[in-house]
Structure 1
Amino acid sequence: MDLLGSILGSMEKPPTIDDKEKKRAKAQKALVEKQQLKEKQKLDEFREKMQKRIHEFIKDAAQPKLKFEPMEKVFRALIHDIADVAGLTSFSFGIEEEDRYVMIWKKEFCPGDDELNAYKRGEAWDPEKAKEAARQKELDDRLDAEQKNAGTAVPASNYRDKYKHLIGEDAAKDAAKNMKANKSYGFVPSDNKRDQRTIEQVLNDTRAKKKLKTEHRSDSSKPPDTEDTTDQS
Structure 2
Amino acid sequence: MDILGSILSSMDKPPSVSDKQKDMIKKQKEDFLKKQKAEQEKLKEFRDKVEEKINMLIKDGAMQRYKFDAMEKVYRSIIHDVAEVAGIPAYSFGEEGVDRAVLLCKKEFTPGEDEIAALRRGETWDPEKAKEIAHMRELERKEEEEESHRKPKRFVPNSNYREKYEHLIGRESAKEAARVTQTNKQYGFGRFLVVFCTD
Amino acid at match of 1:125: W
| TM-score, with structure 1 as normaliser | 0.56
Query: Residue 131 of structure 2 corresponds to which residue in structure 1?
Result: 131
Quote the offset at 1:59 in angstroms: 1.1
List per-residue Cα deviations over 1:30-60 (Å, max 9, x = no partner).
0000000010010011111111111111111
Amino acid at match of 1:61: G
Alignment of 1:175-190 (within 5 A): none
Query: Residue 108 of structure 1 corresponds to which residue in structure 2?
Result: 108
Whole-Å Cα distance in 1 between the matches of residues 18 and 88 of structure 2?
A: 57
Query: Residue 95 of structure 2 corresponds to which residue in structure 1?
Result: 95
Question: Post-superposition, which runs of at least 4 consecutive aligned residues in structure 1 deviate over 3 A?
Answer: 2-12, 135-142, 144-149
Query: Residue 182 of structure 1 corresponds to which residue in structure 2?
Result: none
Structure (1 or 2) with the larger CA radius of gyration:
1
Measured on the aligned residues, the alpha-carbon RMSD in Å equals 3.1
Quote the offset at 1:133 in angstroms: 3.5
| TM-score, with structure 2 as normaliser | 0.65
Query: Residue 218 of structure 1 corresponds to which residue in structure 2?
Result: none
Query: Residue 161 of structure 1 corresponds to which residue in structure 2?
Result: none
Whole-Å Cα distance in 2 between the matches of residues 146 and 52 of structure 1?
A: 50
Change (3 A) 1:5 1:122: closer
Query: Residue 176 of structure 2 corresponds to which residue in structure 1?
Result: none
Change (3 A) 1:18 1:62: same
Whole-Å Cα distance in 2 between the matches of residues 45 and 137 of structure 1?
A: 46
Task: Write 1 or 2 for the structure with the bigger share of helix.
Answer: 1
Number of aligned residue pairs: give it: 150
Whole-Å Cα distance in 2 between the matches of residues 5 and 74 of structure 1?
A: 52
Query: Residue 37 of structure 2 corresponds to which residue in structure 1?
Result: 37
Whole-Å Cα distance in 1 between the matches of residues 105 and 97 of structure 2?
A: 23
Change (3 A) 1:111 1:15: same
Whole-Å Cα distance in 1 between the matches of residues 9 and 132 of structure 2?
A: 93
2:76 corresponds to 1:79: no
Change (3 A) 1:127 1:21: same
Change (3 A) 1:108 1:30: same
Alignment of 1:1-233 (within 5 A): 7=6, 11-135=11-135, 137-138=137-138, 144=143
Could you tell me which runs of 5 or more consecutive residues in structure 1 were left unpaired when the two chains were aligned. Answer: 152-189, 194-233
Percent identity between the two aligned chains: 48
